[in-house]
Structure 1
Amino acid sequence: MIDSRLQLLLAVSEYGTVTAAAEALFRSPSGVSRQIKQLEAEIDLDLLEHDGRRVKLTSAGQRLVEHTRALNAQWESALSDTASAATQLCGPVVIGGFATILTAVVTPAVVRLRAEHRQVKPVAKEIYSQEISKALETGAIDVGLFVADESTSRLPDYLEVEEFMDDPIDLLVHRDHVFAVRDEVRLEEARHEEWITGLPHQDSYMELYAATRSAGYAPRSSHYAQDLTATTAMVAAGLGISAFPRIAQEISHPQVRRIPLAGEHRPHRRIMVTFRAGSRGNPRIDAAIHAMETVRTTLADRTPGPTTGP
């Protein structure tokens, strides 16, 4: 086994403070500090130095982290090769992802995994897309799903990434809205509408803003909500129109209608799956990804047309 203190050093490198690293690993800050000090004493080198309220790696610490990443990749390959010889899948596998993918894909995939491989212990964990690489490197998760954007365009080379699915964004309108009788709507047609959007720093707003910008305008936000229940309530009250990912749960409000967006500027999300380099041959990792791919196929087979609540 790789010395666990190296993983603690790696976490401090990623999160920038001992406290943040300890929180991510469910450890106490004092325990993390003590373990790293023990490692420093054993190798007779300073690995961390204070930089204001944060800590940074010394030159020796940076080199040791680089070696740790290489060791981790070799260890993942060794685990994958060894696990492939097992006659029965067993052990934990942690799948991380953002809220809507957790609801639509990861949860049913966990149910499928538990039914097909009773000795496997799948765990679902909500992780923001921007935190996926840290969670993988520190071992908090084994497989991650994230939305590809500028902040995730350059993932470190100790991770492998594959395309997982395309997630269209649909329009939500009041059932009495002029769009409600349509089978689809072009984004350009909503230029003069009042919108219910997320706040400017949130994913939902950035996705909508990028799409409307390509259509020649910015959404005129009148109200702000990221949560589907709150957004649906505002649309049902006639406060504006909104947009939501198709993989989100079904719209159940009787006053709200979901309409597919169409055309050249149709907004969508690219969802990627990622895992530690060398781990793809691990049967548990492969089984988790296969279960999610099966759920993805099921979702694609029932791609909706216009929908409304009961």
Structure 2
Amino acid sequence: MLDVRRLALLAAVLDSGSMTAAAEQLGYSPSAVSQQLRRLEAEAGQPLLHRQARGVRPTEAGALLAGHARHLVRRLEAAEADLAELAGLRRGTLAVGTFPTVASALMPLVVSRFRRQYPDIRLDVRSARLDELLTMLENGTVGLSLLWDYDWHRMDAQEFSLTPLLDDPTVVVLAQDHRLARRRQTSMAELADEDWIVRAHDHPVAEVLERSCRAAGFTPRISFQANDYQEAQAMVSVGLGIALAPRTAVTTPHPDVRVLSLGRDAPSRRILLAHRQDRLRAPAELAMHQLLVDIAREYQTRG
């Protein structure tokens, strides 16, 4: 196979008119240029240059290869320019995974700021369930993703590099006319006699409710199973029961509910930023990583 660097050297010699001129232009010695061209002739299996007292001229094969070499050099220069644009965050696509509660609480801030700072990078934001996000990370559909876990089932850090972003506390959602609605904080013990609205289909917040109630010494009485947090808030607003939710899920609460802190009575979930350990990370991905860290810190401080 022909050596691309030697082909480029051949084109440089012919374009400059001599080995000496090409050597000065490229920072080689004339003898090194001559040696590399002889190796190229050996690779080609025929002479490429007519060596004369004053410079060189190509053989037919030399002229043919020099034309191809000039095309290759232009393509390589274009490739380097494209890479420079990617490195300079002036083009490209970035795929990011997220999940619904954080997508509504944090991602609008993230997307807005990223687009202002890097307007030429196309964002592909994908919201999905936890198992789908893990699959997308594994197969490379997304380069990085927001994930979550609780302390009884921590995310495995063997396959993914995990950056903790913030703690998302569990809060209780009450109707605005509830007996505790004027409070800012309550305890699980004060809620022992309440009816509960819980997420259906073995949702993680159902386990949070079970663990929190058990720690407080009672078993929750379930009045309704909701398919999402909006439905849960709607049922709370009409007095069907009360509900637990991560704080990010009630960033914009229903107008007829109140959100109270539970302090340490209910476990918080951990919001994580993950990327695959073996992945070479592009500049746009590194920029998004830092932006997520910064915005999560701001969000936590406001909370």
TM-score range relative to shorter protein: 0.5 to 0.7
Alpha-carbon contact 1:211-1:266 (below 8 Å) kept: yes
CA contact (8 A) 1:96 1:143 kept: yes
Equivalent residue number for residue 147 of structure 1: 148
Q: Deviations over 1:223-263 (max 9, x none)?
A: 11142221121111111111221112434433211111124
CA distance in 2, matches of 1:212, 1:280: 45
Report the equivalent of 1:246: 247
The whole-number CA distance in structure 2 between the counterparts of 1:170 and 1:102 is 18
Q: Structure 1 residue 222 and structure 2 residue 223: aligned?
A: yes
Whether the aligned pair in 1 keeps the contact of 2:96 and 2:126 (CA below 8 Å) is yes
Verify: 1:196 aligned to 2:197, yes or no.
yes
Secondary structure of 1:271's partner? Answer: strand
Distance 2:84 2:211 in 1: 44
**Match for residue 134 of structure 1?**
135
Instruction: Give the AA of the match of 1:147.
Output: W
- Partner of residue 291, structure 1: 291
* Whole-angstrom CA distance in 2 between matches of 1:291 and 1:268: 23
Deviation of the 1:115 alpha carbon: 1.0
Give the conservation status (yes or no) of the 8 Å contact 1:113–1:291. yes
With the length of structure 1 as denominator, give the TM-score of the two structures.
0.64
Residues 117-164 of structure 1 show CA distances to partners (whole Å, capped at 9, x for unaligned) of: 122112210121123222111111111111214896453733211212
For 1:128 and 1:206, how far apart are their aligned partners in 2? 17
Matched to 1:247, the amino acid is: T
Match of 2:270 in 1: 270
d(CA) in 1 for partners of 2:105 and 2:118?
21
The corresponding residue for 1:236 is 237
Q: Which amino acid aligns with 1:267?
A: P
User: CA contact under 8 A between 1:98 and 1:126: conserved in structure 2?
Assistant: yes
Q: Which amino acid aligns with 1:193?
A: E
Deviations 1:140-191 (A, max 9, x none): 1111111214896453733211212100111111122111121200122211
- In 1: Cα distance, 2:132 partner to 2:152 partner: 10
Q: So what's the TM-score if we normalise by structure 2?
A: 0.66
Separation of aligned partners in 1, 2:110 and 2:226: 28
Task: Determine the C-alpha separation between the residues in 1 that align with 2:228 and 2:152.
Answer: 22
Native 8 Å contact 2:151 2:269 kept in 1: no
What are the equivalent positions in structure 2 for 1:50-61 lying under 5 Å apart? none
The equivalent residue for 1:93 is: 94
Superposition CA RMSD, Å? 2.5
Partner SS, residue 192 of structure 1: coil
Instruction: Indicate conservation of the 8 Å contact 1:84/1:282, yes or no.
Output: no
Structure 1 residues 152 and 138, CA gap change in structure 2 (3 angstroms): farther
Q: Which amino acid aligns with 2:275?
A: F
Code of the aligned partner of 2:134: S
- Report the secondary structure of 2:141's partner residue: coil
SS at match of 1:257: strand
* Residue matched to 1:181: 182
Query: Does the CA contact (< 8 Å) of 2:89 and 2:283 recur in 1?
Result: no
Letter in 2 for 1:219: P
Unaligned runs of 5+ in 2: 1-82
Equivalent-residue separation in structure 1 for 2:125 and 2:271 (angstroms)? 17
Does structure 2 conserve the Cα–Cα contact (< 8 Å) formed by 1:195 and 1:219? Answer: yes
Cα distance 1:211–1:203, how it changes in 2: closer, same or farther (>3 A)? same
Question: What's the secondary structure of 2:269's corresponding residue?
Answer: strand
- Partner of 1:179: helix, strand, or coil? coil
User: C-alpha separation between the residues in 2 aligned to 1:84 and 1:239?
Assistant: 56
User: CA–CA distance in 1 between the matches of 2:224 and 2:108?
Assistant: 31
Describe the SS at the equivalent of 2:180.
Answer: helix
Q: Secondary structure at the match of 1:173?
A: strand
Question: CA deviation digits over 1:86-131, x for unaligned, max 9?
Answer: 3345311111121101111223212211110122112210121123
- Distance (Å, rounded) in 1 between the aligned partners of 2:119 and 2:176: 45
Match of 1:258 in 2: 259
Percent same amino acid among aligned pairs?
26
SS in 2 for 1:296: helix
Offset at 1:279? Answer: 4.1
- Using the alignment, how far apart are the partners of 2:204 and 2:234 within structure 1? 20
The CA deviation at 1:203 is 2.1
Pairwise CA distance, 1:283: 1.8
CA distance, structure 2, for counterparts of residue 150 and residue 133 of structure 1 = 18
Note the C-alpha offset of 1:271.
1.5
Match of 1:223, as an amino acid?
F
Aligned to 1:57: none
Distance 2:224 2:202 in 1: 15
Structure 1, 200-209 or 91-100: larger mean CA deviation: 200-209
